[in-house]
Amino acid sequence: MHTDGNPATGTSARQHLIGLLEGLLRRAPGTTRALLGSGDGLKLAFTDQSTDDADSLAAVISGLYSLGRQQFKETAGGIRQVVVEHDGGSLFVMSAGAEFTDDRAVNTVLAVMATPDADPGQVGYEMEAFIRGLDEHLVVQARPNSFSGSGL
């Protein structure tokens, strides 16, 4: 998400993303919450959850996506989706930006929570449609490493 540093512009952009996430939920029956987060675990926009829950979910999806990428690092292609199934529902996680090789950029990750009766195919389709509509302007610049050279 690009902002020009103006707080009003940032709020407007975030509200627009929230509206788009809410539209995704309306188009995919059985979905309950959505979150767009940075690949390094920060929430960018979310629906129907507290800020604390969104912070937690952003960290979880970043970790899940990172683990998937690490497992297949020697294989051509990218992670398309990570799904966690539970008796109470499912968590779908997808990359929301192209795979970038620039170490200064981190990927953006989309998560959708769904009830057990949600159609996984419909959820995946709507997530992909959402992502195609946003594309590369969701790249988030990585935070500078303040521990450079310290081994941390």
Residue 79 predicted with pLDDT over 80: no
Mean pLDDT calculated for residue range 96-100: 60
pLDDT score, position 86 = 93
Q: What is the mean pLDDT of the chain?
A: 79
Residue 4 predicted with pLDDT over 70: no
Q: What pTM was computed for the model?
A: 0.76
Q: Residue 14's closest CA among 57, 40, 61, 51?
A: 51
Q: Tokens at residue 88, please?
A: 């109470």
